[in-house]
Amino acid sequence: MPKASDIILKQAEQLRERINFHNRKYYVDDSPEISDAEFDKLFGQLLDLEEQYPELVSADSPSQRVGSKLSKKFENQPHRIPMLSLQKVTTAEEFAAFDKRVSEGLESDTAIEYFVEPKLDGLAVELIYRNGLFETGLTRGDGSTGENITPNLRTIKTIPLRLSDVCASKYPLLEVRGEVIMRKSDFLKLNETLRANNQTTLANSRNGAAGSLRQLDSKITASRPLLFYAYGISDKELKGIDSQRAAIDLLISEGFKINEQARSAVGKNKVEKTFEMLTKKRPTLNYEIDGMVIKVNNFEQQTILGQIARAPRWAVAWKFEAEQAETILMDVEFSVGRTGVVTPVAKLKPVQVSRVTVSSASLHNEDEIRALDIRIGDTVVIQRAGEVIPDVIEVLLEHRPKNSKPIIFPTKCPSCGKAIKRPKGEAAYRCQNFSCPAQVAGRLIYFASKAGVDIDGLGEKLAGQLCQKNLVNDPADIYFLKKDDLLPLDLMADKRAENLLAAIDKSRRAELPKIIAALGIIGVGETAAKILAAEFTDFDKLLNSKQARLETIAGIGPVIAENILAFFSNKSHRRLIDKLKKGGVKFLPYKLKSKAGKLLGKTFVITGTLSKPRPYFKKLIEDNGGKVTGSVSSSTNYLLCGSEPGSKEAKARKLGVEVIGEDRFKALLT
């Protein structure tokens, strides 16, 4: 093939610049300057050149947005900085309480400056730019680890493939976070096209965006009308970027699409008025939103406020009131969960709520049924908040038919037939049979899930078969399965059985946080499991821990501490742990990934005005192996105290925590 001359190289570069310019005018600025036909002509010229001279093709070329070859699967990749979830409020009173906590945490008497924006109903992703080039794109995943969907994200026109030279030079690594959405109008057009081609239509625009992004064939993603709205950056210590507002300004200058409703709001009252305004605007917007995100604007203040186990203390999502609908209660079924709780589930005449067809709703427990005076045949009001199963919130008694039937709670477990009991002080009935098939299946599914020890191939259907055939009576039994046990099962061939046994064997060496989470202790999910593993490092130490010790761990608290103690004091659970060990589960010590240093294992709290911003001292502590928390407790080793320290100093002295100034702090580092 001929080699491109300097003239051809320059021509290709000019075409790329013109196409990128018009892409931005059309998709980001919503102000196109040329017709679609003219744009297609430019794009065709570039494709012709790149086909004739393949060396012209680069990762940031607009031609790379058309999709690539079919992928076999998405690989998991950790986020350098976790993508935290947000705490939620639903009323002005709840937001006022959040604002009060922020003011107290900052020890501030002045109005807090917030940055607010609509909470888009799409899929959160992270874009990683290295030396100005879009290198990797990840889903949020579990917050710590996401799926690498880079080829699919490359197809989205509102994602720049290259940043400016100035930005690349100043920020060699830039991680941009935002939401991928499908506009209402685009969603309707797409469904019309799918319907015309006799293809399955999409349920709603959010599912449309998420499903389009998770296509293994990125050419399908390229055909879908997706938009990326940037809402921030991951690293809060970039030079010259000291606030959310500054981060947004940087993203705007680099060609990212930012929601037009995003703005600063100083003080609680201004935030409340902005929320009221957004609520009124919601029906007229061409995209789905389910609330407003509110962030403390200043990054240093964010650092001071810190975070709890899974969410920052400096941000909150103010959700809109849930949508409601009327329908008829046709029947009630009772399900049994992995903890033995018997839950009444309302079977409804299908109805649309929040653009989703609903046929089931939660009735919670017997007390709730009595309080509502609900009967089979009643017309009821259901409410759907977020993506969870709806609740029945009201019975329309004026529509009650004469043949309505009262709901009678079972006296025996619907799964195993054994008697169920309502423990004193609890609202729920529980099946006390630890070997109950529904509980066993539920525990097994959770144990093998990605949140647990992650056994690939052991899903709900297979777990049900294993329990029905009495091959598994608790999660430990999977480690004693043999190939001959598996082959008689439905759709189980030699290769699938071998792959499953290999996955089970791999799970024997799962990291300690995975094993702790897999046990199913109430309140101990992935985040709390990681905290416990890092704190104790050895499983037997956790197994024999005391409540007083557990309550001092940031992110655990008294309720979870009680649940942990109750779990490990249960003889059945102890037998399960022994059986797991006999089955070859290693319970390997957890290797801390924190840096070694002179402050290793020491916990600091920072307060008052110091000679440099708090992030400087926080980074210094962490670089030397220490940890910084937001509040003083008996587990705090040092309170680094500047001028005007506030109440934290008094609390530290009361608890006997050593209070140090900057000179003493420097001495600790030498």
- Domain locations in the chain as residue ranges: 6-66, 87-319, 323-401+413-421, 437-507, 512-582, 603-669
pLDDT of 180 > 90? The answer is yes
The predicted-structure confidence for 575-592, as pLDDT tens digits, reads as follows 999 999 999 999 999 876
Domains 437-507 and 512-582 share a fold: yes
For 430-471, the DSSP string reads EE--TT-HHHHHHHHHHHHSTTTT--TT--HHHHHHHHHTTS
The predicted-structure confidence for 94-149, as pLDDT tens digits, reads as follows 999 999 999 999 988 899 999 999 999 889 999 999 999 999 999 998 788 889 99
For 356-376, the DSSP string reads EEEEEEE---HHHHHHHT-EE
As its CATH architecture, domain 87-319 has 2-Layer Sandwich (3.30)
Position 600 scores a pLDDT of 84
Contact between 630 and 105 (Cβ < 8 Å): yes
Residues with Cβ within 8 Å of 175's Cβ and at least 6 positions away in sequence, in order, are 80, 81, 126, 127, 128, 129, 233, 234, 235
Q: Tokens 């076999």 sit at which residue?
A: 72
Average pLDDT, integer, range 384-405? 83
Average pLDDT, integer, range 399-417? 93
Which band of pLDDT confidence, cut at 50, 70 and 90, is reported for residue 323?
confident
Go through the chain and tell me how many residues it has: 670
Position 150 scores a pLDDT of 92
pTM reported for the whole predicted model: 0.59
Nearest to 73 by CA among 211, 215, 168, 172: 215
Position 68 scores a pLDDT of 47
The pair of three-digit structure tokens given for residue 564, joined into one six-digit string? 């942990």
Position 535 scores a pLDDT of 87
pLDDT of 263 > 90? The answer is yes
Among 73, 88, 119, 541, the active-site one is 119
The predicted-structure confidence for 324-348, as pLDDT tens digits, reads as follows 889 999 999 999 988 889 999 999 9
pLDDT of 195 > 80? The answer is no
Position 297 scores a pLDDT of 96
Which band of pLDDT confidence, cut at 50, 70 and 90, is reported for residue 299?
very high
Query: Domain 323-401+413-421 sits in which CATH superfamily?
Result: Nucleic acid-binding proteins (2.40.50.140)
> Which of 92-96, 180-184, 590-594, 606-610 shows the lowest mean pLDDT across its residues?
590-594
What integer best gives the mean pLDDT of the chain? 87
Residues with Cβ within 8 Å of 520's Cβ and at least 6 positions away in sequence, in order, are 338, 339, 443, 446, 447
Burial of 172 (0-12, 13-18, 19+ CB in 10 A): exposed
Position 69 scores a pLDDT of 47
Position 596 scores a pLDDT of 58
pLDDT of 557 > 90? The answer is no
- CATH T-level fold of 512-582: DNA polymerase; domain 1 (1.10.150)
The predicted-structure confidence for 528-555, as pLDDT tens digits, reads as follows 888 899 889 999 999 999 988 888 786 6
Burial of 46 (0-12, 13-18, 19+ CB in 10 A): buried
Position 260 scores a pLDDT of 93
Position 447 scores a pLDDT of 94
Burial of 449 (0-12, 13-18, 19+ CB in 10 A): middle
- CATH T-level fold of 6-66: Helix Hairpins (1.10.287)
Which band of pLDDT confidence, cut at 50, 70 and 90, is reported for residue 355?
low
Nearest to 501 by CA among 442, 556, 458, 446: 458
Position 32 scores a pLDDT of 65
Average pLDDT, integer, range 414-434? 86
The predicted-structure confidence for 202-260, as pLDDT tens digits, reads as follows 767 887 888 888 888 888 888 899 999 999 999 988 999 999 999 999 999 999 999 99
Active site residue 119: yes
Question: Strand pairing partners for 125?
Answer: 139, 178
Bridge-based pairing of strands 341-353 and 356-362 is antiparallel
Class of domain 603-669: alpha beta
pLDDT of 28 > 70? The answer is no
Residue 111's identity, in one-letter code, is A
The predicted-structure confidence for 37-88, as pLDDT tens digits, reads as follows 676 677 677 777 777 777 777 766 776 665 444 445 788 899 999 898 888 8
More confident residue, 384 or 285: 285
More confident residue, 132 or 572: 132
Query: Domain 437-507 sits in which CATH superfamily?
Result: 5' to 3' exonuclease, C-terminal subdomain (1.10.150.20)
Query: Roughly what angle, to the nearest 10 degrees, separates helices 268-281 and 92-106?
Result: 140
Average pLDDT, integer, range 440-455? 92
